[in-house]
Amino acid sequence: MNYHLGFLWRFIGRHKYLIVIVIGVIVIGFLDENSFMKRVQYELQISELKEQIKAYKAQHETDSTKLRELKRNPKAIEKIARERYFMKANDEDIYVLSDDEQPTDNNNETTK
**Angle between the N-to-C axes of helices 16-26 and 2-14, in degrees from 0 to 180, rounded to the nearest 10:** 80
What is the number of residues in the chain?
Answer: 112
| pTM for this prediction | 0.51
Cα separation of 26 and 41, whole Å?
17
Say which residues have a Cβ less than 8 Å from residue 87's Cβ, sequence separation at least 6.
Answer: 81
Query: Where are the domains positioned within the chain?
Result: 3-85
pLDDT in the model for residue 34: 78
- Per residue of the chain (112 residues), give pLDDT as tens: 677 788 888 888 888 999 999 998 888 888 877 788 888 999 999 999 999 999 999 999 999 998 998 889 888 888 887 778 777 777 777 677 777 777 676 665 555 4
What is the spatial distance between Cα 88 and Cα 79, in angstroms, rounded to a whole number?
Answer: 10
